[in-house]
Amino acid sequence: MNLPESIGIEVKDKSGRPIEGIIIEIRIESGTKNSYKILSPKTGLDGKTQITRSDFIGQFEDHWEMGLMDYNGTIESANQNVEAYLYDPGWAIENKGLCLAWPLLKNEVPLWGSRTEKYEYLISCVNSKYKTKQQKINISIVNNINLKIKDALPSSAHTIILGDS
């Protein structure tokens, strides 16, 4: 995979108003077993965030610590075509005990004080207020990616722009 230094993310509604508190999930295929899933930080007041190359690789590597037998691909052999969509906190909310049973993984330790801190951060996203379809992206050639989202309750449409910052 030819990974950029960072992947910039910008979330706005159709009127151009930034949307704060969104987490994007990126699914990557590598190897013959399970997909790898990378989460962005939440968008800020300006509707922007980014995933750095080192954080992307760190999250990728943590999959091996979570379940060595469940993954067999490498970041180098990963498919350039990925899927981007809204992270769904529903499973985590319904399975708090399972989420908190794990210790922090190697690449999470420098970022979080505890598993509870990470859990609370993830479930506090505003993603459940919105919906979208998955979008395929070639991460090696796309600078800006437009991902349409709309309110989970019928109403306005929003745009998420992913790309190099």
What's the rounded mean pLDDT across residues 107-117? 96
Q: Is the pLDDT of residue 163 over 70?
A: no
Q: Is the pLDDT of residue 159 over 70?
A: no
Q: What is the per-residue pLDDT for 165?
A: 47
The CA distance from 29 to 82, in Å, is 7
Domain assignment present for residue 114? The answer is no
Domain assignment present for residue 68? The answer is yes
Q: Is the pLDDT of residue 155 over 60?
A: no
Domain assignment present for residue 63? The answer is yes
- What confidence tens digit (pLDDT) does each residue in 57-104 have? 999 989 877 776 687 888 888 899 999 899 999 999 999 999 999 899
Domain assignment present for residue 110? The answer is no
Q: How many domains does the chain have?
A: 1
- What confidence tens digit (pLDDT) does each residue in 37-60 have? 999 999 999 988 899 999 999 999
| pLDDT-derived band at 27, boundaries 50, 70, 90 | very high
Domain region containing 30: 6-87+130-163
Q: What is the pTM of this model?
A: 0.87
- The pLDDT mean for the chain works out to 85
Domain assignment present for residue 113? The answer is no
The lowest-confidence range among 67-71, 102-106, 125-129, 141-145 is 141-145
Domain assignment present for residue 125? The answer is no
Domain assignment present for residue 92? The answer is no
Long-range contact pairs involving 10-13 (C-beta distance under 8 Å, separation at least 24): 10/43, 10/47, 10/48, 10/160, 10/161, 10/162, 11/43, 11/47, 11/48, 11/149, 11/158, 11/159, 11/160, 11/161, 12/47, 12/158, 12/159, 12/160, 12/161, 13/156, 13/157, 13/158, 13/159
| pLDDT-derived band at 13, boundaries 50, 70, 90 | confident
Domain assignment present for residue 107? The answer is no
What's the rounded mean pLDDT across residues 126-142? 83
Name, in order, each residue with C-beta under 8 angstroms of 101's C-beta and a sequence gap of 6 or more. none
